[in-house]
Amino acid sequence: MTYKEEILQLRKDLEQHNYNYYVLSQPTISDYDFDQMMHRLQDLEAEHPDMADPNSPTQRVGSDLNQQFKQVAHKYPMLSLANTYNEQDVREFYERVSSGLEGEEFEICAEMKYDGLSISLTYIDGQLTQAVTRGDGVQGDDVTANVRTIKSIPLRLKEGSGYPKQFEIRGEILLPWTSFEALNAEREANEEPLFANPRNAASGTLKSQKSELVAQRKLDAYLYYLLGENEPPSLFAAPVSVDFSNGKHYENLQEAKKWGFKISEGMKKCKTLQEVLDFINYWDTERKNLPVATDGIVLKVNSIRQQRHLGYTAKSPRWAIAYKFKAERACTRLNEVTYQVGRTGAVTPVANMNPVQLAGTIVKRASLHNADIINELDLHIGDMVYVEKGGEIIPKVVGVDKEQRTPDLQKVQFISTCPECGATLVRYEGEAAHYCPNDTECPPQIKGRIEHFISRKAMNIDSLGPETVDDFYQRGLIHDIADLYTLNAAQIANFNKNRTISAVKAVNAIKESTQVPFERVVFAIGIRFVGETTAKLLARHFKNMEALQNATLAELMEVEKVGQVVAESIIRYFHDEKNLDILRRLQEAGLQFSLSEEALEGQTDKLAGKSIVISGVFAKHSRDEYKALIEKNGGKNVGSISKNTSFILAGDNMGPAKLEKANKLGVQIIDEDTFLSMIE
Cite the active site residues: 113
Neighbours of 56 (CB within 10 A): 20
Residues 42, 61: Cα–Cα separation, whole Å: 12
**What single-letter DSSP state applies at residue 366?**
E
Instruction: With beta carbons less than 8 A apart as the criterion, state whether 478 and 451 touch.
Output: no
Residues 669, 659: Cα–Cα separation, whole Å: 9
Sign of CA dihedral 406, 409, 411, 412: negative
Instruction: With beta carbons less than 8 A apart as the criterion, state whether 219 and 171 touch.
Output: no
| Nearest by Cα to 300 from 94, 104, 89, 91 | 94
- SS3 of 564-616: the string is HHHHHHHHHHHCCHHHHHHHHHHHHCCCCCECCHHHHCCCCCCCCCCEEEEEC
- Backbone φ and ψ of 249, nearest 5°: -60, -50
Q: Could you tell me if residue 463 is left (phi over 0), alpha (psi between -120 and 50 degrees) or otherwise beta?
A: alpha
* Single-letter code of the amino acid located at 643: K
Residues 69, 209: Cα–Cα separation, whole Å: 8
* Single-letter code of the amino acid located at 215: A
CA distances from 583 to 361, 363, 457, 578 (A): 44, 42, 19, 9
Residues 112, 515: Cα–Cα separation, whole Å: 51
Residues 438, 421: Cα–Cα separation, whole Å: 8
Residues 214, 216: Cα–Cα separation, whole Å: 5
CB burial class (10 A; 0-12, 13-18, 19+) of residue 410? exposed
Sign of CA dihedral 259, 160, 9, 4: negative
Of the chain, the end-to-end C-alpha distance in Å amounts to: 61
- Helices 564-574, 577-588: crossing angle, 10 deg rounding: 70
C-alpha angle with apex 330: 327 to 335, nearest 5 degrees? 135
Dihedral Cα 258, 262, 265, 271, nearest 10 deg: -60
**What single-letter DSSP state applies at residue 357?**
E
Q: What is the largest CA-CA distance in the chain?
A: 85
| Nearest by Cα to 111 from 303, 322, 406 | 322
DSSP lists the bridge partners of residue 130 as 122
Instruction: With beta carbons less than 8 A apart as the criterion, state whether 626 and 671 touch.
Output: no
CB burial class (10 A; 0-12, 13-18, 19+) of residue 435? buried
